[in-house]
Structure 1
Amino acid sequence: MLDGKRGLVVGIANEHSIAYGCARAFREAGAEVAVTYLNDKAEPFVRPLAEALESPIIVPCDVRRDGELEAAFDEVRRRWGGLDFVLHSIAYAPKEDLHRRVVDCSAEGFAMAMDVSCHSFIRMARLAEPLMADGGCLLTVSFYGSEKVVSDYNLMGPVKAALESSVRYLAAELGPSRIRVHALSPGPLKTRAASGIDRFDELMERARARAPEHQLVSIDDVGKFAAFLASDAAAPLTGNVEYVDGGFHIVA
């Protein structure tokens, strides 16, 4: 499905990451995958996974550090000359702000969460556009807490809402270049990022109870759908929030 395509995956932290489930699915579908890791501390966890994926490009990328995101795209340009898809699967909020009510979060914490979790996707879109001369696909990761109040999701709710709105605007702006843009919205998954949310285990159990089949999705489920969206078969689709949650979002 993705034979001959090349993609950049940003956000793998370990083997439980949504980004890793997607990267594995991209590779199994025939794509070459470039992989980033956050920093020296993260590299020992990410590099073996990237090597198992036969990634020809493995580079550091902390979007908070000046020039690192640009350097990652420069390496893609130098090695490949072009790009077919990008997966953005990063989010961050300072713990003290994430665990507060939204009304009590600091301006600094809100700005940092918005910069890392939302504006970095816009930056990636800007860097990817000249590398996608023949069109392409940009994917990011959201959550149902963007549109409905989910207990303890707090600050990330407004931030993910901004991310989903950005998806729609980017899809409209990049459509003439045949670049498609989507947000994946999985159900609750036990990832390292999710572990920072208070009472996340309770949230997972509530989601399991509410979902029509009473099952949670896996990173492999998300990955298979991401691979479809990156393929030519999904060419008519853009600007969507794609729920991969076992129907969790349809139940009141």
Structure 2
Amino acid sequence: MSFLDITGRKFIVFGLANKKSVACAIARTLVAEGAEVIHVVRSEERRTTATKLFPDCPVFLCDVEEEENIVRVRDEIAGYLKNQGGAKIDGIVHSIAFANYSEGLKPFHSTLKKDFLQAVDISCFSFISIANHFKDLLSQDASMVTISISTTRMAAENYGYMAPIKAALDSSCCFLAKSFSAFSHIRFNAVAPGLLKTSASAGIPGYVDSYLFAEKAILRKAALTTREAADTAVFLLSPRASGINAQTIVVDAGMAINYFDKEIIKGAVG
């Protein structure tokens, strides 16, 4: 038995987009540890991608912006599990976020209501909704993990309105953990990575410069990898993390303590 003790356990991963996504890295580690992975993706195009990357894993479709889709995919997965003898799900990964920057980056105070509410719906409420609708498919000691950001208190202008939404996501872990404790030992946690090189991040205006700065601020002077964030998520999914609940685990390789690095100061003040 491996240390993580997830061999043969079943996990659902929401949000795989491509081979660079955090969801893909999490699924790779789960499969490598002998777990069974069920993918849920947003579109047919992503289903094709997921099938190519994980040919032995079932893939279902769900655009979480419409709650009825979450109910539908829950029923489809329930049917799949029934055909496998009624097995339960041991964990769910929520790696979903969306922000509409189609009109360009605006000052935070100029955020459009429709954009903010859509981002809350997709990036935060979907986690709550998935927990609610999938609760009867989960084992009594299952784990739900979402992907946040390393800090929601750093007002990065190019991240727009997403930090307040991630703050709501972090808080939702606490309230879900409390709510579910009335009838289960199901845990809710968030992995909060520093800046990662993913296709989703590439769509954030000015992200490359921020990424390069983060690399200088990290203690080891090397960027955080997607796998490092993913491995933390897999640990939280495993029984080895049974004592961790309602937490946001920062994975930033020490970046947050190093903003006064002498090299950064020298470059800023000359």
Alpha-carbon distance between aligned partners in 2 of 1:128 and 1:30, rounded to the nearest angstrom: 23
Tell which deviates more after alignment, 206-215 or 141-150: 141-150
**Dislocated runs of 4+, deviation >4 Å:** none
Task: Say whether residues 1:125 and 2:125 are aligned partners.
Answer: no
Q: Mark the runs of 5 or more structure 1 residues left unpaired by the alignment.
A: none
Pairing 1:24-103 to 2, within 5 Å after superposition: 24-51=28-55, 54-55=56-57, 57-80=58-81, 81=86, 82-96=88-102, 99-103=105-109
**Cα shift at 1:134:** 2.2
Q: Whose Rg is larger?
A: 2
Q: What CA distance in whole angstroms lies between the structure 2 residues aligned with 1:209 and 1:61?
A: 39
Deviation at 1:75, TM superposition (A): 2.2
The answer on 1:197 being equivalent to 2:211 is: no
- Residue of 6, 15, 21 corresponding to 2:19: 15
**Corresponding position of 2:265:** none
One-letter code aligned to 1:190: K
Assess if the C-alpha contact under 8 Å between 2:173 and 2:246 holds in 1: yes
Q: Percent identity?
A: 29
Aligned with residue 231 of structure 1, among 226, 230, 238: 238
Residues 241 and 94 of structure 1: CA distance in aligned 2, closer, same or farther (over 3 Å): same
Deviation at 1:97, TM superposition (A): 6.1
User: Displacement, 1:17?
Assistant: 0.3
The equivalent residue for 1:140 is 146
What is the match of residue 122 of structure 2? 116
Residue 159 in structure 1 maps to residue 191 in structure 2 = no
1:145: Cα distance to partner? Answer: 4.4
In the superposition, the TM-score normalised over structure 2's length comes to 0.87
Structure 2: runs of 5+ lacking an equivalent: 260-270
Q: Given that residues 10 and 90 in structure 1 are in contact (C-alpha distance below 8 angstroms), is that contact kept between their aligned partners in structure 2?
A: yes
Secondary structure, aligned partner of 2:176: helix
Is the deviation greater in 230-239 or in 34-43? 34-43
Query: Aligned partners of 1:128 and 1:107: how far apart in 2?
Result: 29
Question: Are the counterparts in 2 of residues 98 and 197 from structure 1 also a CA contact under 8 Å?
Answer: no
In 2, Cα distance between the equivalents of 1:97 and 1:32? 41
Paired with 1:116 and 1:251, the residues of 2 have a C-alpha distance of 33
The alpha carbon displacement at 1:41 in A equals: 3.0
RMSD: 1.6
Is the contact made by 2:14 and 2:96 (CA closer than 8 Å) also made in structure 1? yes
Secondary structure in 1 matching 2:158:
coil
Compute the displacement of 1:98 (Å).
6.8
Structure 2 distance, partners of 1:238, 1:97, is 38
Shift of 1:66: 5.0
Alpha-carbon distance between aligned partners in 2 of 1:119 and 1:86, rounded to the nearest angstrom: 15
Size of the aligned set, in residue pairs, is: 249
Q: TM-score, normalised by structure 1?
A: 0.93
